[in-house]
Amino acid sequence: MDIHHLKIFISVHRNSSFSKASQELHISQPTISEHIKNLENELDCTLFDRLGRSILPTAMAEILLPHALQVVEEMTKLREAIHADSRQITGDMIISASTIPGTYLLPKMAAAFKEIHPLARFQILINDSATSAEKVASHEIHLAVTGGIMKKSGLQETPFFEDQLVCVASKEFMDHKGDDLADLPVLIREQGSGTRRAMEEIFHQARIPIHNRNVIATLGSTAAIKEAILAGLGFSIISRMAVEEELKTGKLKQLQLPGTSMTRPIVCITHKKRTLPRRYQAFVDMLLAKAS
């Protein structure tokens, strides 16, 4: 049964007139008559007796009226409840993030979001960039945040932050080894890491070879890379956010790589064919707004 038919029936009954209902609802009188006729056909009864220019509700109309009023009222309450819920962001958000955004960006962004929407809850899963993108592609999660664009089919990848990268080593390491990086031991991230992809591109631009002879260790996290650098095991490229304090205190030394682009985008990843739940969309909108 069409809720619109019931609204028109209620108006006609209340006004005891097709023409007055037409004026009240801003619908033509023939359309009003057609809707009432359709409702009568659906219920297989006569709702109004036409008496020249006037109408009278039948016994069936009097039975229908309280039920119609209840249905319309409940639909109004439902619409108001849905709208009220849409204004209040609630529920869990599961986000897969690579190490740098998951450690240094998303916790701050989540805190800012919860100031506006205190009922929102976050679960941030730390995975490498490739795994995070794959979780979105396979519909396991709605949102990933990675270091670098993955160029994976079917995904929408939107940069929202520029990550500054630095080439660093411990001061003691460089004092002992000298400044020629080509033959020095290098520390790299695992395959699938966004930092690994950016590092390979930067080393290619700087014409620094990466081969079995000078790769001293492959490590699975930014924290492990940083600790290995501090221990003097080798040099590496890492996000400035991860070593800001060590650079300030002089524990690490920044090495210059002329002719290289030492930045990479931090990217929101969603699926092109999926509509984000409202809480996710609101969070993505906040991320992109802060980038603008």
Residue pLDDT, tens place only, 118-152: 999 999 999 999 999 999 998 889 999 999 888 88
Percent of the chain at pLDDT above 70?
95
Same domain, 278 and 156: yes
Decide: 271 and 183 in contact? Cβ < 8 Å: no
Mean pLDDT of 162-180: 83
pLDDT for res 178: 61
Same domain, 32 and 99: no
**What CATH code is carried by the domain that includes residue 127?**
3.40.190.10
Same domain, 32 and 150: no
Is the pTM above the cut of 0.75? no
**What CATH code is carried by the domain that includes residue 19?**
1.10.10.10
87: pLDDT strictly greater than 80: no
Last residue in a domain, options 63, 87, 111: 87
Residues 116 and 102: their CA atoms lie apart, in Å, by: 21
Decide: 129 and 192 in contact? Cβ < 8 Å: yes
Same domain, 28 and 61: yes
Q: List beta partners, residue 96.
A: 125, 144
Retrieve residue 167's tokens. 């080439």
Residue 85 banded pLDDT, cuts 50, 70, 90: low
pLDDT for res 212: 65
246: pLDDT strictly greater than 90: yes
Same domain, 248 and 190: yes
91-97/236-239 β-pairing:
unpaired
Domain encompassing residue 271: 91-161+265-291
46-67 tens-digit pLDDT: 999 988 888 999 999 999 999 9
User: Any idea which residue has 């929408």 for tokens?
Assistant: 156
Residue 104: closest CA among 76, 145, 157, 71: 145
Last residue in a domain, options 30, 63, 87: 87
Domain count, the chain: 3
pLDDT for res 84: 63
4-32 tens-digit pLDDT: 999 999 999 989 999 999 998 999 999 99
